[in-house]
Homo-oligomer: A and B are copies of this chain.
């Protein structure tokens, strides 16, 4: 009964949206949530309402679906409806959705593309041409520009017409073009309201050119750099120009929210040996394969660390207490190293640590490692003594802990710096490399010292 009641609520919301009798203006995010829930509760109704969604919002909803739900929806929807939907979408979103469709069903994607007019086809092809890490791949080609010879009044009139046709949203700024269609200024709407409406932009801008100097990005620029610029310069929108200085699109705040979160997720996943794209797809077999790669690497390093222990088999045979204590050295070293590594990788990603100031972080980490190394060497030494009542064992334990803390702090700091120097992502593989070092050296120092001093 509970289920029936929930379905009825979802149906009511959807009917309310479709008929607008009760004036519910649902956002595509709300509709997406309703459809995701409906898909789990009542597949038939899911199909029914997906078919009834109007084209102007259907694309945004489909974009939020995972692979499986998108596939199902494509089987339900007619080609005509899909063509209408793509036509209604912003260029960047349309391109994303087309790429998702292409991955699922190349033939269908080709049919949809064929149903678009030449201009739309050309736009999607152009956006698809950008690499995943280029700013161009995230821009939308819908924007509002004015020639610098236009008067403010003319421009407002043009904006009105455009807005009435409902083809453009989020026009917080007007991009001003020069004689050769080159970008010469960005004017915020709030500033434009202050202008004398009868003057041309050229006249107005020439008085304070530095104020309206556009902060633009190049379409081939690294998108991560663009995201950092938004954050650093508190931007709301940025124009994108191509190599000929020609205005080709814009990137808006909502893209940056998604990118900031995605970048952080990628970093978190990379450090844990997880692939962000595979996880997004949510097919267990793909996830297994991707994660398996890192597990394989971890297996190799674990065997390597084991080979270090193997050298001391006879020592352990004589004193099995060593086998009991050695994982403590490895575990605590790994933990300490991971703290330093995490802080370094994150601060490098945020631009807080770079070539000019890495030495500060380096020395700070060394001090932290030595301080805590001393404290925990004492604690662990005492703990071992209470347990095994053997001064030599507890001294060796203390020294091994101190050494491994220092090494862990050193490596946790240096590994990401070195990876960066080698032009690879400091988040990828660094924690496995670190664990290998703290494990293998932890065992080596502890067992090696025990071998030397206890017998």
Contacts and interface: CB of A to CB of B under 8 A. Distances in A.
B272 A254 contact: no
Interface in A311-358: 313-314, 316-317, 320-321, 323-328, 330-332, 335-336, 338-339, 341-343, 346-347, 350, 356-357
Nearest to A27: B233
Interface string A222-254: 000000001111111000000000000000011
Interface in A284-303: 284-285, 287-288, 291-292, 294-296, 298-299, 301-303
A268 B342 contact: yes
A362 B357 CA distance: 43
Copies of this protein in the complex = 2
A173 to B, nearest CB: 9
Given A25-B210, A233-B27, A372 B327 contact: no
A273 B189 contact: no
A2 to B, nearest CB: 13
Interface stretch (A51-59, A124-132, A256-264, A417-425): A256-264
Contacts of A310: 321, 324
Given A302-B332, A323-B316, A342-B272, A194 B367 contact: no
A343 B285 CA distance: 16
A327 B383 contact: no
A284 B371 contact: yes
B287 A364 contact: yes
A284 B366 CA distance: 9
B210 A159 contact: no
B254 A346 contact: no
A306 B425 CA distance: 35
A163 to B, nearest CB: 5
A198 interface: no
A249 to B, nearest CB: 17
Nearest to A366: B284
B189 A291 contact: no
A60 to B, nearest CB: 10
A324 B313 CA distance: 8
A200 B229 CA distance: 39
A274 interface: yes
A145 interface: no
A439 B327 contact: yes
A267 interface: yes
B367 A284 contact: yes
A209 interface: yes
Contacts of A160: 193-194
B305 A236 contact: no
A261 B350 contact: yes
A29 interface: yes
Interface of A: 20, 23-25, 27, 29, 36-37, 40, 156, 159-160, 163-164, 170-172, 189-191, 193-194, 209-211, 213, 230-236, 253-254, 256-258, 260-261, 264-265, 267-269, 271-274, 279, 282, 284-285, 287-288, 291-292, 294-296, 298-299, 301-303, 305-307, 309-310, 313-314, 316-317, 320-321, 323-328, 330-332, 335-336, 338-339, 341-343, 346-347, 350, 356-357, 360, 364, 367-368, 371-372, 375-376, 379-380, 383, 432, 435, 439, 443
9 contacts: A27-B233, A253-B256, A260-B261, A267-B268, A269-B346, A306-B327, A309-B324, A316-B323, A317-B317
Given A265-B350, A331-B435, 15 more contacts: A20-B210, A37-B356, A159-B193, A160-B193, A164-B194, A170-B190, A189-B189, A261-B264, A265-B346, A291-B339, A292-B376, A295-B372, A296-B379, A305-B328, A316-B320
